[in-house]
Structure 1
Amino acid sequence: MTTAIAGSNIAFVKYWGNLDDALRLPMNGSISMTLDAAVTTTAVEFSPDFSADSLLLNEQPAAEAAVQRASRQLDHLRQLAGVATRAHIVSSNSFPTGAGIASSASGMAALTVAAAGALGLDLPEAELSKIARLGSGSASRSIAGGFVEWYAGARHDDSYAVQIAPPEHWDLVDVVAIVSAEEKEVGSTAGHPLAHTSPFYQARLGELQRTLPLMRKAIFERDLELFGELLEAEAISLHVASMTSRPSILYWTAGTMTLLHALRGWRQRGTAVGYFTIDAGPNVHILTERAHVPALLEQLGQLECVASTLVCAAGQGARVVG
């Protein structure tokens, strides 16, 4: 049995829509930060005694759809290893599953690294990123640590993620405000094929050509104000595309909106400093520098819509731990 751990990641420039759904080749590149406190731990054991793949997720037998998705991911690695042996998988998340905190990213990254280790495959990080991408696009970014860029590419071989700055480069913190721990109705996998139906999607892709280099610059120069401006505009752009797809996908709740208005008010009054982004779910990620975290947590604690908070810094990439 081999155990691996992988952090979720928060995308600053987001992935939405595929060039190729089967290979999960994205329509655009993306930039993210791997998180140190939102992690998936996964153990994989292959044995000829197992008649089928099985998955225990958060101490419960996983739904059949989740087992099949994990099994398809294992097939990519079994093919590389030249074996057909079935596996037993035990996986757990340190954060709510399926609520817009990229549990599929950390889950598929941890599964890929654990299974590769269990099969004796010694693969470079770029190759692990490509394989993880086949299971979940954003998982390609969770293979690397710190600040990460996923090159969109146009084929399986050139679509992978790399570290652009190590975790210690910038003491940036993601304060995750949980407004709902419920699993979302429409997952990212179902949302990506709908991206092209939004009348605003092509405009979004055009704007990303400007956003990507500017976001890189903001990270390299540790420019929080530029970073925050880009971060919020990019989050709104993604959700405009999802809200105007056919059928429409609405991830935000009343709690989400209450929090966004509160955050902007705190900034204007100088009460707290932070900038929002939101993945495919209702929960709000507030990015700020560590010195601003205490004031931010104090303000969040006064909002009824915030059920809990999770504080994450930049973390390491996916790795074998046992």
Structure 2
Amino acid sequence: MSAVTARAHPNIALIKYWGKKDEELILPVAGSLSLTLDAFATTTSVELREGLAEDRLELDGLVRDGEQLARVSAFLDHVRSLAGASGRAVVRSVNEAPTAAGLASSASGFAALAMAASAAYGLDLDARGLSRLARRGSGSAARSLVDGVAVWHAGTDDESSYAEAVPAPPMGMVIATVDGGPKAVSSREAMRRTVQTSPYFSAWVSSTEDYLERMVTACRAGDFTTIGQLTEAHALRMHALIASTEPPIRYLRPRSVEVFDAVAGLREDGVEAWATADAGPNVAVLVQPQGAAETAARLAAIVGVDQVRVVGAGPGAHLLPEGCEVPPAPGTGTQE
């Protein structure tokens, strides 16, 4: 059969997901809330091919094996189990954002894979079912199935852990790329270390539940100031938690902290801007549309003009029309 192609965008968590209570089902210890972006997309195709002894993965123009292939194959095994199928697949995927650099390429990657694979294997899933499926590949991928602002309900089992949309005021982000390279410690490994070694983990769980309740209320009320305050405070709490592991893990770089300080300076000058960072050094600044240009200009003075991008709220994962192909990997000119 011909390839099925899907596109998904990363999401940046405003209330963070950090820590699992079930590793196999990828159930989080607490709920979270995010903004799906309209940039840094992942485009993924799944082609069922007769005669393959094992799945094949091409990521960003290169054939991959080892842990990356194993993770994709395990996800496809789950899809095949749901579909009652056994055929192997060729998966081609290209990230517009740097892979594994803290810009949620895992979320967009597995959201796109969930959408394409479910269609290729003939599954008929509703929005909740697709979100639950994407979660099995990467927890935060559950939120990238949703347009705009999404709340991921922690749930107690596979059925009850999914993401859905939440109404919110108009807002976007200014992304400051401090370092586009891969992380030395993956999010998955850092989460495990945090759960096992941080003395503050139980307090993180209870405070996150409180923050999430307040954040959903603020979103529904259109209260951007409270949304921003909660966003920045929760990000700093998460990075403090990560730093409390044994051995300590530190994702933020000195330049990341410079960006946080610049954002605080923007607020002093009357521009409502609030900084956040996922598990990596790159900083996303939550803004109202009218504050995006000034925020971008201020951050460009720190990280460079070519490292700053203004983005808006984006669509959830979706299938592309038949015949659409995965684009060439950035910088290659051709798809290998």
How far did residue 63 of structure 1 move? 4.2
Instruction: Identify the residue that residue 330 of structure 2 maps to in structure 1.
Output: none
Partner-residue secondary structure (3-state), 2:139: coil
TM-score, normalised to structure 1's length? Answer: 0.95
Match of 1:47 among 40, 46, 49: 49
Q: 2:305, 2:79 → 1: CA distance?
A: 40
Instruction: Identify the residue that residue 275 of structure 1 maps to in structure 2.
Output: 274
Q: Report % sequence identity.
A: 38
Q: 2:269, 2:11 → 1: CA distance?
A: 30
Instruction: Identify the residue that residue 113 of structure 1 maps to in structure 2.
Output: 115
Q: 2:316, 2:179 → 1: CA distance?
A: 27
Q: 1:144, 1:260 → 2: CA distance?
A: 28
- Which segment is superposed worse, 194-203 or 284-293? 194-203
State the aligned residue count: 318
Partner-residue secondary structure (3-state), 2:52: coil
How far did residue 310 of structure 1 move? 2.5
Is residue 2:309 matched to residue 1:310? yes
How far did residue 187 of structure 1 move? 1.2
RMSD: 1.4
Is residue 2:97 matched to residue 1:64? no
Instruction: Identify the residue that residue 332 of structure 2 maps to in structure 1.
Output: none
Superposed CA deviations along residues 279-318 of structure 1, whole A, max 9, x for unmatched, are 0000000000111111111111211467602222111111
- Which segment is superposed worse, 154-163 or 275-284? 154-163
Q: Which amino acid aligns with 2:307?
A: S
Which structure's residues are more often strand, by fraction?
1
Change (3 A) 1:6 1:20: same
Instruction: Identify the residue that residue 242 of structure 1 maps to in structure 2.
Output: 242
Superposed CA deviations along residues 61-120 of structure 1, whole A, max 9, x for unmatched, are 224211111111111111111111110011011111111011100000100110111112
Partner-residue secondary structure (3-state), 1:38: coil
Instruction: Identify the residue that residue 200 of structure 1 maps to in structure 2.
Output: 200
State whether residues 112 and 132 of structure 1, in contact with CA within 8 Å, keep that contact through their aligned partners in structure 2: yes
Q: Which amino acid aligns with 2:265?
A: G
Matches within 5 A, 1:164-313: 164-165=166-167, 169-196=168-195, 197-270=197-270, 272-304=271-303, 308-313=307-312
Partner-residue secondary structure (3-state), 2:163: strand
Instruction: Identify the residue that residue 164 of structure 2 maps to in structure 1.
Output: 162
State whether residues 17 and 194 of structure 1, in contact with CA within 8 Å, keep that contact through their aligned partners in structure 2: no
Superposed CA deviations along residues 156-197 of structure 1, whole A, max 9, x for unmatched, are 1111111122xxx53211111000001011111111212222
Q: 2:303, 2:98 → 1: CA distance?
A: 19
Match of 2:140 among 122, 138, 141: 138
TM-score, normalised to structure 2's length? Answer: 0.91
- Over 6 Å off, 4+ runs: none
Q: Which amino acid aligns with 2:103?
A: I
Instruction: Identify the residue that residue 78 of structure 1 maps to in structure 2.
Output: 80
Q: 2:161, 2:25 → 1: CA distance?
A: 10
How far did residue 222 of structure 1 move? 2.0
State whether residues 38 and 312 of structure 1, in contact with CA within 8 Å, keep that contact through their aligned partners in structure 2: no
Q: Which amino acid aligns with 2:204?
A: R
Superposed CA deviations along residues 102-150 of structure 1, whole A, max 9, x for unmatched, are 1100000100110111112111111111111111010111111111111
Partner-residue secondary structure (3-state), 1:110: helix
Q: 1:209, 1:104 → 2: CA distance?
A: 24
Partner-residue secondary structure (3-state), 2:133: helix
- Which segment is superposed worse, 309-318 or 106-115? 309-318
Partner-residue secondary structure (3-state), 1:211: helix
